[in-house]
Structure 1
Amino acid sequence: MSSPKTIRWGILATGGIAITFTKDLLVDPTTRGVKHVKHAVVAAASSSSKARAEQFLKDTGCPTDAKAYGSYEELAKDPNVDIIYIATPHSHHYQNAMLCLEAGKNVLCEKAFTVNAPQLKLLVDKAREKKLFLMEAVWTRYFPLSIYVRELITSGRIGPVARVLADNSVALNPEESFKDGKNRMVNPDLAGGALLDLGIYSLTWVFQTLYLTQPEDARTPPTVLAAMKKYAGTKDADEHATIILTFPRSEELGGVAHAVATTSLRVASAPGGTQDLPTTRIQGPKGEIQVYGPSFRPTSTKLVLGDGTVEEKQWPQPGPGKGSGWYNGFGSGKQPEGEGQGMFWEADEAATAVLEGRKEGKYESLAESIVIMEVMDEVRKQGGLVYPEKIETTKYPTQL
């Protein structure tokens, strides 16, 4: 058997999501059955200082010879970096990703990909011009759980999907949690609000079950009807968004299908942190698939068929295992000892694509990412949500 190939990563930004991703990235891939690729972090950059990048590398357990940079420009120029993971707020994704692509670097960019579809289209054009890999880091799409759900659908066990209900809502009490209005969840200057940060996951479940599972030549973008409530604390950020999507489909494939994707800062998908309510329901004439746990990191599934069949499955994330003394999580949340957050699956896909010479992700094409950004643009249009010009602009470079 051939030895695994090593992909050399650069980490752009050093906040919470970068810490979680990097810790997962450094877990031995064989703990999840991946033997063809290994990951190495060779550099990280903080826009605030080199010292902060040095501390980040130390805190995440990176090799001592990994380089620390005090600017993103230095990271983008590092010849030892194969791919850059972008972990800034989505307000900055367009500028940061364009910097990396212009420098000839492959890119895995956090979600939401950009602030608007015109920005994303220009990134895609640049990646194709430079013959580089570009992928949105929608980690959930690459979970074994998600692959299983899509395989259930394409197997026909519930019949053609007729309706999807997807919710990703978290009761954050924004007035208390984000008093100064500067947090990325509510700050207009950071493209704050429920839609781009949380609603992307609701739309992920809709699209990966109602769009991706159709034959490629049959996929048609949906029409959109949306309602939005602004967050009073900062005015130009959304507190709730609810989207009704109608997917055109031939009669042979089941006819028109509907979806409801909803998200909220104010209320929770499952009050009290319980996991006894499905956050996503995928319904067909023969039954439905229920997905439990947060939409971004679901933990179990239930197949319920009209003939009385019920199949339940638990989906814990792999990792170093119990007794390892290793922990990961995000924010104040921590997973059980030795259990990864699950961000390594998207890293494996990105690394594999780079090795194979592919230029986009296997389970979310760049074309599909654009369609989803266009849906969110339409939701914002109907809700009257416009962000400051400096983060909506397609002008590069723009100082943020």
Structure 2
Amino acid sequence: MAHTIRWGIMATGWIAETFVRDLLKDPKARDASDVAHKVVAVASSSSKDKADKFISTLGIPAPCDAYATYQELVADPNVDVVYVATPHSHHYQNVMLCLEAGKNVLCEKAFTVNAAQTKILCETARKKNLFLMEAVWTRYFPLSVQVRELIQKGEIGEVLRTIADTSFGDDVEEKWGTKHRMVNPDLAGGCLLDLGIYSLTWVFQTLYHTLPRDQRKAPTVTSQMTPYHLTGADESTTILLSFPTSTPSNGPHPHRSQGIAMTNIRVSADPDEEGTSGPQIRIQGTKGEIQVFGHPFRPTSYRVIPKKGLGEVRTVEGSFPAEGHGMFWEADEVARCLRDGKLESEGMPWEESIVIMEVMDEVRKQGGLTYPQKIESTEYPLQL
């Protein structure tokens, strides 16, 4: 019998729409017969009409309640877990609202605006015995899991460097202006928190997460940031991370490993959108390299290139069952964690979310990027 989870959806933007479309796909199409999903409530902070329209547009089966406030959503006794799909500037306040109401939470990335906020959320979830997870959906792709397993098995030897680039070449002034969340400091805008998190995800899941938990060590951070001249949010950020460990052996004399995480909204890592420019992720070891193709947030294939004389080059294609986007895999993980009584997911543990937020704090410090005091605040409740 499948374990069914009842979801409440907080906010009705495109990311919530994409997530819900995936929730409505038949889990059997992706060989997930042990869990199932129901959307039982949707809330828009602007109007009930917006929530009603979201439900009808996506064809969410009844019963599904529409709410005009987030307070009503978290008070709904039928909701097992809330998916928080608001801008990351509001995550801290929104997740605290859920936790205080006794609700489990899946919160979109970036988890919060700073590490202090993330720490308090994790501590609150622990105290209240509630499940909490940062929605870094890419980690739960079968493709990502396979790449991590190859590293752990020593397929490319000792992994010493990962290079990841999440960049979109847009006419920033024309496309984003000054008010769009991508460039608006009032919404914690800029490429670091929105896109750079994916570059950091690949660095961390290959150089940090592949080690046993008791061997994971935080990196030192050096970075450069270019501010967008109209708002001051970052339009380009490059981060060099140095880890005192390497995978898989991390032996008595471990090598250091380096991660290079890049993000930019003015130049593209894939200018012709045909993949001609090659892989956006390269994972380099002493016995070869793994290249990952497609956008870092939604990879489509990988190639294993052994060192000369050590084997054949092979390419593995990923697939998206039922023409899904790929967010259903993280939803299945949430369902399994709730079924098994876990408070956090092994694939994206609280400790790792905190370390990544600390890295982004340091990058912002080095680049002189601050957000309005209200959205950096750990005070709760606070009207934003």
TM-score (norm: length of structure 2): 0.97
Unaligned runs of 5+ in 1: 320-338
Q: Which residue number corresponds to residue 306 of structure 2? A: 305
1:399 aligns with 2:366: no
Instruction: Give the C-alpha shift of residue 107 in structure 1.
Output: 0.1
The CA RMSD over aligned residues, in Å, is 0.9
Instruction: Give the C-alpha shift of residue 362 in structure 1.
Output: 2.2
SS of 2:299's partner is: coil
Instruction: Give the C-alpha shift of residue 212 in structure 1.
Output: 0.4
SS of 2:159's partner is: coil
- Cα 1:275/1:252, change in 2 over 3 Å: farther
Contact 1:194-1:264 within 8 A present in 2 as well = yes
Which amino acid is 2:281 matched to? T
SS of 1:65's partner is: coil
Q: Which residue number corresponds to residue 275 of structure 2? A: 275
Contact 2:168-2:269 within 8 A present in 1 as well = yes
Which amino acid is 1:193 matched to? G
Aligned match of 1:51 in 49, 68, 75? 49
SS of 2:295's partner is: coil
Instruction: Write the deviation string for residues 153-198 of structure 1: whole angstroms up to 9, x where unpaired.
Output: 001011111000010001121101022x111100000000000000
Instruction: Report percent identity of matched pairs.
Output: 59
Aligned match of 2:123 in 125, 140, 146? 125
Tell me how far apart the structure 1 counterparts of residues 253 and 343 of structure 2 sit (CA, whole Å): 29
Aligned match of 2:7 in 9, 12, 28? 9
Q: Which residue number corresponds to residue 364 of structure 1? A: 348
1:246 aligns with 2:230: no
SS of 2:230's partner is: coil
Which amino acid is 1:216 matched to? R
Tell me how far apart the structure 2 counterparts of residues 254 and 297 of structure 1 sit (CA, whole Å): 32
Tell me how far apart the structure 2 counterparts of residues 83 and 347 of structure 1 sit (CA, whole Å): 10
Equivalent residue runs for 1:109-120 within 5 Å: 109-120=107-118
1:343 aligns with 2:335: no
Q: Which residue number corresponds to residue 138 of structure 2? A: 140
Q: Which residue number corresponds to residue 290 of structure 2? A: 289
Tell me how far apart the structure 2 counterparts of residues 310 and 218 of structure 1 sit (CA, whole Å): 31
Tell me how far apart the structure 2 counterparts of residues 253 and 210 of structure 1 sit (CA, whole Å): 16
1:194 aligns with 2:178: no
Which runs of at least 4 in structure 1 moved beyond 3 Å after TM superposition?
Answer: 250-254
Size of the alignment, in residue pairs?
377
Tell me how far apart the structure 1 counterparts of residues 34 and 338 of structure 2 sit (CA, whole Å): 12
Contact 1:353-1:360 within 8 A present in 2 as well = yes
Contact 1:7-1:82 within 8 A present in 2 as well = yes
Tell me how far apart the structure 1 counterparts of residues 118 and 187 of structure 2 sit (CA, whole Å): 17
Contact 1:161-1:254 within 8 A present in 2 as well = no
SS of 1:206's partner is: helix
Q: Which residue number corresponds to residue 74 of structure 1? A: 72
Q: Which residue number corresponds to residue 229 of structure 2? A: 232
Equivalent residue runs for 1:364-383 within 5 Å: 364-383=348-367
- Shifted more, 167-176 versus 6-15: the winner is 167-176
Tell me how far apart the structure 2 counterparts of residues 15 and 272 of structure 1 sit (CA, whole Å): 28
Aligned match of 2:209 in 190, 207, 212? 212
Instruction: Give the C-alpha shift of residue 253 in structure 1.
Output: 7.0
Instruction: Write the deviation string for residues 33-56 of structure 1: whole angstroms up to 9, x where unpaired.
Output: 000111000000000001100001
Contact 2:244-2:254 within 8 A present in 1 as well = no
Instruction: Write the deviation string for residues 235-272 of structure 1: whole angstroms up to 9, x where unpaired.
Output: 2x100000000001255474111110000011111111
Contact 2:160-2:258 within 8 A present in 1 as well = yes
Q: Which residue number corresponds to residue 104 of structure 2? A: 106
1:203 aligns with 2:200: yes
Unaligned runs of 5+ in 2: none
1:353 aligns with 2:337: yes
Q: Which residue number corresponds to residue 33 of structure 2? A: 35
Instruction: Give the C-alpha shift of residue 133 in structure 1.
Output: 0.3
Tell me how far apart the structure 2 counterparts of residues 93 and 8 of structure 1 sit (CA, whole Å): 21
TM-score (norm: length of structure 1): 0.93
Q: Which residue number corresponds to residue 335 of structure 1? A: none
Contact 1:9-1:43 within 8 A present in 2 as well = yes
SS of 1:270's partner is: coil
Tell me how far apart the structure 2 counterparts of residues 274 and 361 of structure 1 sit (CA, whole Å): 34
Tell me how far apart the structure 2 counterparts of residues 275 and 317 of structure 1 sit (CA, whole Å): 18
Instruction: Give the C-alpha shift of residue 64 in structure 1.
Output: 2.7
Tell me how far apart the structure 2 counterparts of residues 201 and 374 of structure 1 sit (CA, whole Å): 15
